[in-house]
Structure 1
């Protein structure tokens, strides 16, 4: 199928999930996960009105954002970020989905000051309990929010999680529900206002939407399978 056809299918899936849960599809941002795909594929998606793209490697974000000639897209960085790569995200990203340490927050804030920019951030929370995943333990969220409130260039707007891999999306519904419940974590004000939930990927985003997702990260259902050669 073409990217246009794939986008139509994904938007229909989003609409059905919203109808089932009594939500407005306009509340859900589709982040097209474009990692490993060439700019030509992103342009094909942009030609169909898809203007939000997600990357998880700093070098690839740098290359694509630099080569993109117009300013009409949003770049979301959705992967784990090492502090030495903070300059790239500070320069190019509109939204960072994986804030998970005070040291990283400090590095980003410093670079954003140099770039004279602000950055919308989501805090990554490990709700699956898997040792292999990055993110805060849910119990660490409240003190973390207090600590990062000092960084004026960061706008803490919500939470992100990676659910456990499963063939049955219903198995991860409790994880999505837990993340939604964490939105009620007391926030210190200032740069923090928890509203957004980034959760759900190609195989489980309907359940994520039913549980309150405002951002779904969809790659293969739009661009096809990846080749990691």
Structure 2
């Protein structure tokens, strides 16, 4: 058994145990966060059956997307901060974007989505812990942003994403995650939307996230090992 296969099995075991604990078997999707990892490692993960991959650095991601273009059913998710000058390539090459927190960015993605492609799946990033260092719309402004994004024809508003502040134990982890679930349910009811995705939970808090309703956990370190960053990487 390869090291990568072992890591995937360990992560899937954690997901399945967490699902079983709250009677949510089969409801949670694994998004493998492959940023900073080479295309060869992503290809190996594909050989293990993984198809959903998250990237944060656009130029690096475009190289991998091209290198793996022979695997036609890969689903690419952009999960990093979005600069205005990057939206055209993101709109053209990705299937999902998890990090939309401004209407300006949403409109650019909408306007630049190629006509031949289906609507781009969007999650709104919420700064659920109120951290000044993190991107994300506040809960107070979330409903207005969701209403505006839902009206853009080339986008499909699928749900919410968050990166909560680290917490010392599971009970503390669950507090912001629970608030995310409540926000999604409230906005769906208030605006008559059908958002079905909660993108939350990473290596250190995936169990708490699943218990609080996550439908997609974003796992990098537990699968691919510690990330190595280069001064040459570009967002």
TM-score (norm 2): 0.91
Q: Is the 8 A contact 2:19 2:27 kept in 1?
A: no
**Are 2:156 and 1:151 aligned?**
no
**Are 2:65 and 1:65 aligned?**
yes
After the TM superposition, which residues 163-178 of structure 1 pair with which residues of structure 2 at under 5 Å, given as runs?
A: 163-178=164-179
Deviation, structure 1 residue 113: 4.3
After the TM superposition, which residues 35-184 of structure 1 pair with which residues of structure 2 at under 5 Å, given as runs?
A: 35-68=35-68, 69-113=70-114, 116-184=117-185
Deviation, structure 1 residue 131: 0.8
Deviation, structure 1 residue 114: 5.0
Deviation, structure 1 residue 145: 1.6
CA RMSD of aligned residues (A): 1.5
Q: CA separation in 2, counterparts of 1:52 and 1:203? A: 20
- Unmatched tracts of structure 2, length 5 or more: 231-235
Deviation, structure 1 residue 186: 3.4
May I ask how many residue pairs the two structures share in their alignment? 226
1:55-78 Cα shifts (integer Å, max 9, x gaps):
011112211112212212110111
Q: 2:17 aligns to what?
A: 16
Q: Is the 8 A contact 1:91 1:115 kept in 2?
A: no
TM-score (norm 1): 0.94
Q: Is the 8 A contact 1:183 1:194 kept in 2?
A: yes
Deviation, structure 1 residue 115: 5.5
- Unmatched tracts of structure 1, length 5 or more: none
3-state SS of 1:7 partner: helix
